[in-house]
Chains A and B, each alone.
Chain A
Amino acid sequence: MRLYDPTSSGPERSLSRAPALTALEGKTIGILENNKLNAMEMLREVAALFETRHNCTVRSVWHKSNASAPAPAGMLAQAIGEVDFLITGLGD
Chain B
Amino acid sequence: MPLDSHRIHEIPDDLLAAIDYCYEQGWTDGLPVIPPVLERVHAMLAFEGRPPEAVIATHPATTLQLTVHAAAVNAVMAGCLPEYFPVLVAAFEAMDKPEFNFHGSTASTGGSAPLLIVSGPVCDDIGMNADVNLFGPGNRANATIGRAVRLVLRNVFQMIPGISDKSTQGNPGKYSFCIAERARGNPWPLLCETQDYPPGVSSVTVFAGGGFCNVENHGGNTPEQILGSVADAMANYGCITLGQSVVILSPEHMAIVAGAGWSREDAQSFLFTQAKRSVEGMRSVGKYRDSEYDRQHGDDADAMVQDGYVHRGLSPRDILITMGGGDAGGHSCFIPSWSRGRGSIMQHKPIGVCIDCG
Given A1-B13, A68-B343, A70-B61, are A6 and B35 also a contact pair (CB < 8 Å)?
A: no
The winner among A9, A13, A66, A67 for most chain B CB atoms within 10 A is: A9
- Whether a CB of chain B sits under 8 angstroms from the CB of A3 is yes
Kindly state whether residue B62 has any CB partner on chain A within 8 Å.
Answer: yes
Inside 8 A of A8's CB, which chain B residues have their CB? Answer: 64-66, 70, 155-158
Interface size class of A (residues with CB under 8 A): 10 to 19
- Partner of A4 from the list B18, B36, B66, B101 (CB cut-off 8 Å) is B36
Given the known interface contacts A13-B62, A69-B343, the answer about A6 and B77 at a Cβ–Cβ threshold of 8 Å is yes
- Tell me if B107 is interfacial: C-beta within 8 Å of chain A: yes
How far apart are the CA atoms of A2 and B342 in the complex, in Å?
A: 44
Return the CB mask of B76-96 against A: 1 if under 8 Å, else 0.
010000000000000000000
- A73 → B minimal CB distance (Å): 10
A16 to B257, CA, bound (A): 58
The proximity string for A residues 1-29 relative to B, scoring 1 for CB distances below 8 Å and 0 otherwise, is: 11111111111010000000000000000
> Is A68's CB under 8 angstroms from B13's CB?
no
Interface hits, A7-54 → B, CB 8 Å: 7-11, 13, 37
Question: A8 to B3, alpha carbons, bound, how many Å?
Answer: 12
CB distance from B37 to the nearest CB of A (A): 6
Q: Are A68 and B11 in contact, CB atoms less than 8 angstroms apart?
A: no
A6:B73 contact, CB within 8 angstroms: yes
Residue in B closest to A90 when the chains form the complex, CB atoms: B109
Smallest CB separation, B269 vs chain A (Å): 28
Most chain B CB within a 10 A radius of its CB, from A4, A9, A70: A4
A11 contacts across to B, CB distance below 8 A? 63, 65
- Chain A residue, CB-CB nearest to B52: A9
Q: Is chain A's interface secondary structure helix, strand, loop, or mixed overall? A: loop
- Indicate if the CB atoms of A3 and B64 lie closer than 8 Å: no
By beta carbon, the residue of chain A nearest B72 is: A4
Q: Provide the residues of chain B in CB contact with A5, threshold 8 Å.
A: 4, 7-9, 73
Complex Cα spacing A1 to B18, Å: 8
- Cβ-neighbour of A3 out of B9, B65, B70, B343 (below 8 A): B9
Can you list, as one digit per residue, whether each of B108-120 has a CB less than 8 Å from chain A (1) or not (0)? 1100000000000
Distance in angstroms between the alpha carbons of A70 and B60 in the assembled complex: 7
Q: Contact check, A4 vs B8: say whether CB atoms are below 8 A apart.
A: yes
CB pair B8 A2 closer than 8 Å: yes
- The distance in angstroms between the C-alpha atoms of A77 and B10, with both chains bound, is 46
CA distance A6 to B101 in the complex (A): 22
Contact B37 A1 (CB under 8 A): yes
Contact indicator per residue, chain B 1-20, by CB within 8 Å of chain A (1) or not (0): 00110011111111100100
Chain B positions within 8 Å of A2 at CB level: 8-11, 37-38
Residues of A within 8 A of B37 (CB): 1-4
Known: A5-B8, A68-B107. 15 other contacts (CB 8 A): A2-B10, A3-B21, A4-B4, A8-B157, A9-B3, A9-B4, A9-B70, A10-B66, A10-B67, A11-B65, A13-B62, A67-B343, A68-B104, A69-B101, A69-B343
Q: What are 14 A-B contacts defined by CB distance under 8 Å?
A: A2-B9, A3-B8, A3-B9, A3-B37, A6-B156, A7-B70, A8-B70, A8-B158, A9-B156, A10-B58, A10-B67, A68-B105, A68-B344, A69-B103
